[in-house]
Structure 1
Amino acid sequence: MTTTSSARTAAPPRTGQLERALGMLEVVADRNGASARELADALDVPLPTVYRIAKELTGAGYLTYVQAGRFELGHKLHQLGMSLHRQVGLSRPVTAEVTRLHEATGLAAYLAILRGGEMVVVHVVDSPDCPRLKPLRFGFHEAPHATAFGKLLLADLDPDYRDDYLDRHGLVALTARTTTEPDALAAELATVSRRGIAWEFGEFIAGWDCAAVPVRAGDNRLLGSVAVSGQAGRLAGRERVLESTLRAVSSRVGGLLRSGL
C-alpha cells in the first residue's frame, strides 16, 4: 500500500541542542517510549549527549523516566496539547459533531482546520469496521492534491498563489490514480470550487476513497473541512446522502467555531 512516506525526503541531521531535544521527543512519541540507546541510534547522537538532554527534558516535565531504563512523554506535553486543542477550536461540542458524522455514515470521520496556510487534521473518529487512513493523524497536512480536504484548500486559493504553492510542494504520484498534471488538477479544482464538495477515489492510498466539504465563516472565509473516508466501494451509490450529511455537519461545526463554543 502506497502512503505519503514515499514522497518524503530524508530529514537533515539534528545538530543543534533544540533540534536534538525535539527529535528525542518525536522518537519517544512514535515508539511509545524509548531507551537512551534507542534515542542515540535513531538520531545519530552520542549517548552522553542523549543523557544530558534527557535529564533537562525530564526535569522540565517533557519526559519521564520509567522502569527498564526507558523514557516516556511527560505531563507537560499533555498541557501543551490541551492548549493547542483549544487554539484550533476542539471543544466538546465540535468533536461531538465529528463523532455523530462517523456514527451516521459508518465511515471514518475527520475534522481539519485551516492553520498557517495548511489544512491540518485535528480530530479523527473511526472504528475497527472502518478505520481511519493511517497517515491522517493529528497534525497531518501533506499531499493536498491527493486528499479531499486538501483539494478544498487548493480550490480556495488564488490561482497564482496556488501555482506557487504547488511548485513548492510538488504533485507527487502516491498511487496510480493520483492527479499529477497541473491542467487536470486545475480543472478538477474548478469543479470543487463550483460544487463545494471534493471527492477522492484511491488517489491518496490505493483502495480507499474520501469526501469532504468546507467549513466556512460568516463571510464565507474558509475555516476548515469535515470529511469521511472508507474502503473502495463504501462511498459508491451513497454520494447524495453523504453530501447532505457532510453539509449538515459542516454547518453545525461552522456555527460552533464562529460562536467559540
Structure 2
Amino acid sequence: MTERPEELDEKSSPLEKTFAVLEFVAERGGATAKEVSDALGYPMPSVYRLAKALVQTGYLVHLKDKGRFELGYKPHQLAVSLHRQIGVPSPVKAVIADLHHRVSMAAYFAVYRGADVVVAYIVDSPEHPRLTPLSFGFHEAAHATAFGKIMLAGMNDLQRDQYLAVHGTRPLQEATITDPQELRAHLDTVMLDGIAWEHEEFVPEKTCAAVGVHNGAGMVVGSVAVSTDTHLMKGREHQVELALRETANMVSKYFRMGSAR
C-alpha cells in the first residue's frame, strides 16, 4: 500500500518516490498532481517530474482534458508476464475448477515462488466468492491461511524459521496463532494429518482447508484449498477433506508425470 506522508522518509530515493507516485495513482484509479502532492507530501514540481518519467515509460498516461494521471499500458504488460512466469497448466486449472463446483466453495491453488507462498489460481463465483483480499499473486499471512499452513508444514525447521523471521506472525484476527512455539506445534499436527484447517484466523466468519501437492520426491510444492462461511462448513468437513485429498492427488500426479486426469 502507498505510504502516507507521516510514513515517508525524507531521504527516500528518486526510485522509491517514483514508485510511490505510481502506486498512489493505481490505488486511487487516477489522480491529479495536486492530489498526489497532498497525499505524499512531495512538492508539485517533483510530482510533475516523477509523473512525466512514468508517462514517458508507459506506466502512466496524462489525460490533459481531465487534468489527471491514470495507469498506462505497461503495468498490464508486466501483469501478463507475471501470469506467464507463475503459469498454471490447463490440466491443473481444470481440476481446481472441478473442486470449486464439487464442493460449492471458492477453490485455490498456491505454489512456492522463491521463498514466498503465492496464490497462483482461483476459481470462485458470485454465489461462492473468494476471500477478500485473496487474488492472484497474494503472498502474505501464510501463518493464518490454510494453504499457507500446509506449505509451512512441508518446510524443514530452518526454512520455516527463516520464512517466519522475514514475514512474521502478525495477529489478523483473535484466533490467529502468533506465538512461535504454538504455531510450530500446530504445524507439526498439520504435517501429520496431511490437511490444514483455518477457522476464522484470516477472515472473520470464514473457514478454510488445504491439502498439499507433492512432487516425485514427496516434497510439498503447492497446495489446493477451499474457503467458505464457517456455518456452511459445519457438517461437511469429511466431504471437503475427501475432495481436497482427491484433487491434491490429481495435481500431484501432474507434477510427477506431466499429466493430470
Instruction: Please state which band the TM-score falls in when normalised by the shorter chain.
Output: 0.7 to 0.9
Name the structure 2 match of 1:43.
40
Are the equivalent residues in 1 in contact too, given 2:58–2:72 (CA < 8 A)? yes
Are the equivalent residues in 2 in contact too, given 1:89–1:257 (CA < 8 A)? no
Q: Distance in 1 between matches of 2:90 and 2:255?
A: 11
Name the structure 2 match of 1:87.
85
TM-fit CA distance, 1:18: 1.5
With the length of structure 1 as denominator, give the TM-score of the two structures.
Answer: 0.85
Q: Distance in 2 between matches of 1:260 and 1:20?
A: 46
TM-fit CA distance, 1:242: 1.3
With the length of structure 2 as denominator, give the TM-score of the two structures.
Answer: 0.85
Are the equivalent residues in 2 in contact too, given 1:173–1:180 (CA < 8 A)? yes
Are the equivalent residues in 2 in contact too, given 1:114–1:222 (CA < 8 A)? no
Name the structure 2 match of 1:56.
53
Name the structure 2 match of 1:166.
164
TM-fit CA distance, 1:260: 9.3
| More off after superposition, 227-236 vs 59-68 | 59-68
Identity fraction in percent: 47
Task: State which of 57, 63, 72 in structure 1 corresponds to 2:70.
Answer: 72
Write out aligned runs for 1:154-233 (5 A): 154-233=152-231
Query: Structure 1 counterpart of 2:61, which letter?
Result: T
Write out aligned runs for 1:1-150 (5 A): 12-13=8-9, 15-66=12-63, 67-150=65-148
Query: Structure 1 counterpart of 2:39, which letter?
Result: A
**Relative contact order higher in (CA < 8 Å, ≥ 6 apart):** 1
Query: Structure 1 counterpart of 2:191, which letter?
Result: S
TM-fit CA distance, 1:24: 2.3
Structure 2, gaps ≥5 residues long: none
Structure 1, gaps ≥5 residues long: none
Are the equivalent residues in 2 in contact too, given 1:108–1:126 (CA < 8 A)? yes
Are the equivalent residues in 1 in contact too, given 2:100–2:124 (CA < 8 A)? yes
